[in-house]
Homo-oligomer: A and B are copies of this chain.
Amino acid sequence: MPTINLGKFLVNRLKELGLDTIFGVPGDYNMPFLDVIEDDPELKWGNNANELNASYAADGYARVRGIGAVVTTFGVGELSACNGIAGSFSEMVPVVHIVGTPNTKSQASGALLHHTLGNGNFRVFQQMFAEITVANTQLSIANSTLHAIREIDRCLTECMLRRRPVYIGFPIDLMSAEVDVSESDLQPLQIQRPKNPENTQASCLKFVLQEIERAKKPIIIVDACAIRNEVQADVERLMDKTGFPTYVAPMGKGAVHEAKSNYRGCYAGTVSLEQVAEEVHQADLILEIGSLQSDFNTGGFSYNLDKEKIIAFHTSLTSVFHATFEGVGMNEFLPLVIDNLPKSLTETDWKDLPPPAHTQSIQPEDAPVITHNYLWNKLSDYLEPRSIIVSETGTAEFGVFNLRAPHDCKYISQVLWGSIGYSVGGATGAAAADRSRRVYLFVGDGSFQMTAQEVSSMLHTGLTPVIFLLNNNGYTIEKLIHGKHRDYNNYQMWKYADTFKYMGAELEINTKNARQSVVGYQGKVNTREEFEKAMEQVKQQSNKIHFIEVIMPQFDAPRELLLQVATSENR
């Protein structure tokens, strides 16, 4: 029987799944596993400033690369990551949370160790995480060494299939244990999605095709779960083959190539641009792909589309009007629909549609001050194709709804979970996930303060995002919701533009393998002219990290946020 080092086995599996960076923070219960990571020439260590940020980074990374991982230490470390992991659960992002736990002997004897609750219960944190993960385990070789191997494979399989986080407790003494494996355990992990039920699917297909053929004014709305299930290529084929007007919900932004002629904009009920809402409400058939109808994704539940018109493609079911076809998941079903579309689709009644609403740029008021209206309109002059746009919960998240971005951009925002501070860690992960893409981070001053130290990790690991610090002097989204002039919505202002300097961009670095970012623009812009000048430098220096503190009027917000607030007055 062959043997393998258990830490090495887990690391190999993570690499098989596509990981090249693992995030986290060292702790005295996880360091032997960090040795394995550091010794692997194909892996990089995220070097995060704290565990919450590390979990955000793993989430941002997973959104770009299909999976992410974070390593924490028992108790103190893992609980700090708890909000990040819950966010990944809520937003359906596959993240592997590996927790270094005390050695198996101490656990068995209930020793009164540091990082415990002092009650000898070593399972309590795992139990807490059971609520926000789709699989959890504590590795053990007490009965069989194969058990640990099988548990790792089970958790990773669940993570990949269900697109949600899993928890692997890894006792410190097992990290370098040599364990027996069978030959087949050393083969790459085979992850197979369960097949859709054949007859149900056939019946559903017939129904769907018939309705598509019959429709006069069909449209497509693409949402969050299209991205989570990675069906963007299918969506593109569907758009091309049908020519149907296509929309995204806010969380579906990025699932569709916006340059396509039949892309028509972002639909979010009363928070939509007027023309978008009008078009959507005229439709007689709506192909809804991966819909997730949360408050912020539907204009505060003003989505209001008639179920009689909706064919909804979900992760593991399809509904046609009021009929549900259980088990008919989109990954297998969408291609089937596309392949079987009638050769010549009935001519639809969508004729002479005006140019899409979002392409009609709104003329910003003529003033030197940088308003949201100006900012989100102007940005499209600068963004490159294949950019990754990370927008913080708050003003930025809503500004992005109608942003005109070039081909193949990716949008990252926590529209459902909405944890402020997420974007700084998320951008770190996204930037690490694909260094060939430019990352634009839009974060408000309040959110930035939550997780600011992560800029330090960006600098240390040579990442080069463009950071826009939208400084509007307080928690603007909160002020718009409640307590506009309250003290609790204000706090200490910082010299944000000095962030790189403060976090040592010019100091020597103390690790062998780090590659420090080269700093480009760092400063504060008060006017449109200053902003545009800064952006010219940003555009030219694509291999540098930039920090632009954008001074904005207090209480100014994107139109979409103001509309959203109006819908949720009574939440």
Contacts and interface: CB of A to CB of B under 8 A. Distances in A.
A83 B82 CA distance: 8
A192 interface: no
A478 interface: yes
Contacts of A495: 501-504, 507
Interface residues of A, number: 98
Interface in A474-495: 474-475, 477-478, 481-483, 486-495
A451 B478 CA distance: 23
A117 to B, nearest CB: 5
A453 interface: yes
Interface string A46-82: 0101101000000000000000000000011001101
A128 interface: yes
A459 interface: yes
A481 B118 contact: no
A86 interface: yes
A172 B512 CA distance: 51
A493 B514 contact: no
A301 B498 CA distance: 47
A460 B488 CA distance: 12
A3 interface: no
B488 A294 contact: no
A486 B38 contact: yes
Contacts of A449: 49-50, 453, 456
A184 interface: no
A86 B90 contact: no
A45 B487 contact: yes
Contact of A491 (B132, B511, B512): B511
B511 A504 contact: no
A270 interface: no
A459 B166 CA distance: 40
Contact of A296 (B45, B83, B114): B114
A47 to B, nearest CB: 6
Contacts of A477: 28
A571 interface: yes
Given A26-B478, A114-B418, A453-B453, A510 B473 contact: yes
A157 interface: no
A399 interface: no
A571 B47 contact: no
A99 to B, nearest CB: 13
A425 B507 CA distance: 27
B488 A510 contact: no
Contact of A86 (B37, B75, B452): B75
A127 interface: yes
A299 interface: no
A218 interface: no
Interface stretch (A10-18, A105-113, A539-547): A105-113
A314 to B, nearest CB: 13
A567 interface: no
A131 B132 contact: no
Interface in A1-54: 26-28, 31-32, 34-35, 37-38, 45, 47, 49-50, 52
A296 B114 CA distance: 7
A504 B487 contact: no
Given A117-B132, A493-B504, A31 B478 contact: yes
A428 to B, nearest CB: 12
A103 interface: yes
B478 A492 contact: no
Contacts of A35: 483, 486
A31 B512 CA distance: 47
A514 B502 contact: no
Nearest to A448: B453
B504 A492 contact: yes
A450 B453 contact: yes
A471 to B, nearest CB: 11
A89 interface: yes
Nearest to A81: B83
Contacts of A89: 117
Contacts of A293: 112
A416 interface: yes
Given A493-B504, A512-B487, A419 B117 contact: no
Contacts of A91: 118
A83 B498 CA distance: 30
A457 interface: yes
A82 B81 CA distance: 9
B509 A493 contact: yes
A134 to B, nearest CB: 11
A50 B450 CA distance: 5
A116 interface: yes
A201 B232 CA distance: 73
A295 interface: yes
21 contacts: A28-B571, A37-B488, A49-B450, A76-B83, A79-B86, A103-B570, A103-B571, A112-B292, A114-B294, A116-B294, A117-B132, A118-B294, A124-B131, A127-B131, A128-B132, A452-B453, A460-B491, A473-B510, A492-B507, A495-B507, A498-B498
Given A26-B488, A111-B301, A118-B416, 4 more contacts: A47-B488, A47-B492, A492-B503, A492-B507
